Amino acid sequence: MALVREKRSPENRANHSADGDEAAAGFGPPSTWTDEALLARISAGSEEHFDVLYERYFQRIYGFVYVRVRNHADAEELTQETFTVVFRSADAWAGKSTPLAWIYGVAKNTVYNHLRRHRVHDQRIQQAGPGLMVSDSATWACTPEDHLEMDRYARAIDARLQGVATWQAEAFVLRHVHNLSIREISQQTDRSGDAIRSGLYRVKRLLLQTDTQETTRAS
Amino acid sequence: MEELQEFLEGDLYPDRADPNFKEELRDELWRTLESRRLEKPSRDD
């Protein structure tokens, strides 16, 4: 934190370019480097500088997001989205603002887009009413006993999915129950294909971990 | 400005991420960065 305050002092801002040049030239440990210098080195492929920037911003982003969504599953997802956007578009940043302001802007937009999607989603649910939960899929055209079995299965899946973000659980169901493509899920959830794939991987890993635990317990 | 200040003070928040998530995200981001960097055409070409 002391490093952050040092960077914000007037003297430091006045010497920003000089310090940045010195830092970029390799003087001093990477933890003292400016964000601009770190981004430049990351673009050149330096994992050490990537780690410094990641550590510098991780809790800032996570804390900022968590305060607004109040659950860790969504906070994780939004933190991942924010960092993905930051590192994917770092080349296009081009010094239009300070990295701090830019990364803060990405985090803010990510959170606000998420909150807006949830508001729209909740409104749709309320407008649709109880009929929304009835599926016309052939999978559900079966006997009452089958319905009971599937209901038990769905509840078991639902319990396991409590630890993931709402949209990730929704994407999993859309993919593996309704057989939608990644592109279709992306359009429906307004998420990128990469985010969908990452979310599906996370859910699968969670389910596999749970299965492994139950198998071990049973044996 | 208050929000930006709040963002800067994120280190002070008591709510911490799962360390496993933090580490896995770090690894995933670095892998993505590296693969994208290696896919870029060389400036010398």
pLDDT classification of A121: cutoffs 50, 70, 90: low
Predicted confidence (pLDDT) at residue A62 exceeds the cutoff of 90: yes
pLDDT-wise least confident of A9-13, A84-88, A185-189, A193-197: A9-13
Q: Estimate to the nearest angstrom the gap between the alpha carbon of A31 and the chain centroid.
A: 25
Domain A2-8+20-119, CATH number (from 1.10.1740.10, 3.40.50.720, 1.20.1250.20, 3.40.50.510): 1.10.1740.10
Q: How buried is A104 (Cβ within 10 angstroms: 0-12 exposed, 13-18 middle, 19+ buried)?
A: buried
CB–CB of B7 and A67 under 8 A?
Answer: no
CB–CB of A59 and B15 under 8 A?
Answer: no
Predicted confidence (pLDDT) at residue A219 exceeds the cutoff of 80: no
pLDDT classification of B8: cutoffs 50, 70, 90: confident
User: Min CA distance, B19 vs chain A (Å)?
Assistant: 11
d(CA A19, CA A33): 8
Residue type at A131 in one-letter notation: G
Predicted confidence (pLDDT) at residue A134 exceeds the cutoff of 50: yes
Tokens of A181: 């493509």
Tokens of A120: 């729209």
Spell out the residues 6+ positions from residue A64 whose beta carbon is closer than 8 angstroms to its own: A104, A107, A108, A111, B3, B6, B7, B10
pTM confidence score: 0.58
User: Min CA distance, B8 vs chain A (Å)?
Assistant: 6
Task: Classify the complex by whether its ipTM is higher than 0.90, answering yes or no.
Answer: no
Contacts of A104 in chain B (CB under 8 A): 3-4, 7
Task: Please compute the mean of the pLDDT values over residues A195-205 and round it to a whole number.
Answer: 77
Predicted confidence (pLDDT) at residue A67 exceeds the cutoff of 50: yes
pLDDT classification of A51: cutoffs 50, 70, 90: very high
CB–CB of A54 and B26 under 8 A?
Answer: yes
Domain A135-218, CATH number (from 3.40.50.970, 1.10.1040.10, 3.20.190.10, 1.10.10.10): 1.10.10.10
